[in-house]
Structures are given as C-alpha cells and as structure tokens.
Copies of this chain bind each other. A is one copy, B any other.
Amino acid sequence: MRTPSSKKPPVEQQLTGVVPTIHDVARAAGVSIGTCSKALNGKGNLSVETRERVRLVAEQLGFRPNGLAQSLVWGRTFTVGLILSAFRKRIIPLLTGIEDALATARFSVFLCDAHDDSDREQQHLNALLSRHVDGIIIVGRHLDVRPPIDVGATGVPVVYAYSPTDDPNALCLTPDEPHGTRLAIEHLLRLGRRRLAHISGPTAHIAVPLREATMQQVLAERGLHVPPERVLHGPWQERWGYAATNRLLDQDSSIEAIFCGSDVLARGVVDALRERGVRAPQDIAVVGFHNMRGIANAARPALTTVDAQLHELGRQAGTNLLDMINGQRKSGVFRLPCQLVIRESCGAAVASQTHQQAIEYDDL
C-alpha cells in the first residue's frame, strides 16, 4: 500500500515521522471513521467513488491497517505455519510452491525448521498454535509415514506434504513415485532395452524398495525381470554410483540400461561408463531420479530423470489448506503424478539437446 519513496505525494509530507491511523485517513478523505472503515474493508453500502477516494487517500498517506487488531475482529490471523522436518535443497521447489499459493491469497507463512528433531517440532507447533495460525503445513522429505501432529482442541486444519501420516482424518499430498518409476521403465522398454540393472540407496527408507518393486512389476507385465545380482544398494553418493557400475559391468557386459535411485547416483554411473569406454545411451541407457537440474545438466551425457513435480505439490498443499481454512473438510492420501524429463542419457536425440539449454545454476 505504500508507494515507493520517489512517488510519494505531497500529502505524506504533513505526516512525516508519524504512523498514520484510520483517523488520519478519514480526516483527509473528508468522511466519518465508520465510512472510512467500510471503504477499506470492502463492506457496507457506499458509492464506488467514495470507496475509491478513501482507498486512494489511504494509499497516499501510507496507511496500513493494524493487522493485529484486524485479527481479533475477524477471528483470523491470515497466517499459516510451515514446519519442515529439515531444510534441504531438494525441497526448495515444494517450499516455493506453498509460498506462491499462500502469498497470492495474502497469507503470510511462518517458517519453522524442526532439524529432524521431534522436540523442536513440538516447540514450533506450540508457538504456532499460540500465534493462532489459521492452518499448518507439515513438510517432509521422503515417502515414509510420519506420526500425526496434535493440534489439540484448536481444530486448526493441517496438510501433510511429501511425507504422509497415518491419521485417516488427515489430508496428505505425496508424490506418486511408483507412477514416476513406471514412466521411466516404460520409456526404457519403448527404446528396446530389456536387460536392466538398478543402482539405488539404502533400503531403510520405503522409497527404495518401493521403486524396486514397481520396476519389477512393470517388467513382469512384459515377462521380464531384473535378477538380484543386477540390483545394488549403497549410500546416496556419486562414489557409490561409480563403484556399483564398475562392479556390475565387471560381472555382466550384457546390461542395456541402468535405472538409478537418484541423479547423484546416475552422475557416478555415467562417469564410470565413460571412463570404461562404454557409450551412454548407445550401449547403456541411464535414467536418474529427482531432476536435480544442476546435476542432471552437468552430467555427460545430461540425465533423463523422473521429476516429482514438487512445486506443483507445494502449490496444491497451499490451495487445499486455504480451502480447509474456508471451512471445507478434506482428508485422505493423494498421490500426485510425476513427469519424465528426457535428456541425452536415455532417449533424447544424442548430442543435440543440452548444450543450448539454459542451465539454471546460480552459483556466483
């Protein structure tokens, strides 16, 4: 509502050093306090001219309605709490999606980092409830089911984004990774690759066995199968992708494609292939997971990979929470579709695409 200082109209000069109140606006606009309030709140039966005049004066004066007092009157704070299990690069699109949806509706977002600590999460939750937030979004970073939060008797609506919870009354939005895995495997099959291998991370998180099971299921529909010796699990490190590739190819030179549990692993895979003189994708096609653009574009060849569409998931978490704040009841686990991003490592016209791509590194 403030105009930039270069455009400040003269009327502001009269009030330098003073925070303008609704009384100042009413006086300057030549209306009563009641009329002024109605005009600014979009209520009552006023002429368009009066309403516009009051709004213009308010803007010229740099008047800001008192958010706190408004909250007490409206019974809403227009704030939402965002509790992250932890701050990680990979969930940035999820956060910006949530923030986009809420900022559009003029809600402000409290950011709470739980540092993977349930006590800190509880402290943040207490603080949010004492601030009377209108809603809460719990942001996880994997598919494992997490415990529900307890908002007590406040009835504050909650949305779980990424990590679902096991409360049947909760609303959970989570990426449909089996769908993403299916897209990747069907793409490989369409390209004629039948002898697959799978290099992935530790099996402790549900996402890892889930991707493997989905891969096997899609293959089984075509009468195919990846034997156990072509499925390798290790740490989420390039080094592991590199080592696992060498181990695989030392034993079996007939492999036609490697489906990787992450782009980091896939980067290690393509480096190992190149150093062995194996061509990707001509000899062995490679698919990653997550579409971490920096890594995917820097890899040689650039990586075909599954994108979990986290910005869209965040946006939907935000809009669903707004619906719930407006009284709608929502519950259930909703799995949002993934997308396959095709680059050189599998399926794109070889050596044609990525060199011209605007790479979104921001690494000053």
Contact = CB atoms under 8 A, between A and B. Distances in A.
Say which size band chain A's interface belongs to.
35 or more
A90 B205 CA distance: 26
A254 interface: no
Contacts of A152: 2, 19, 62
Interface stretch (A26-34, A183-191, A233-241, A332-340): A233-241
A78 to B, nearest CB: 8
A92 B87 contact: yes
Contacts of A90: 362-363
Contacts of A196: none
A110 B113 contact: no
Interface stretch (A44-52, A212-220, A261-269, A278-286): A261-269
A153 to B, nearest CB: 5
A58 to B, nearest CB: 12
B264 A363 contact: yes
A349 interface: no
B99 A113 contact: yes
A236 B68 contact: no
Contacts of A112: 99, 103, 108-109
Nearest to A20: B153
A71 B70 CA distance: 13
Interface of A: 1-2, 4-5, 15-19, 62, 64-69, 71-72, 77, 79, 82, 86-90, 92, 95-96, 99, 103, 106, 108-113, 118, 120, 122-132, 141-142, 150, 152-154, 201, 205, 207-208, 235-239, 262-264, 267-268, 290, 292, 294, 297-298, 355, 359, 361-364
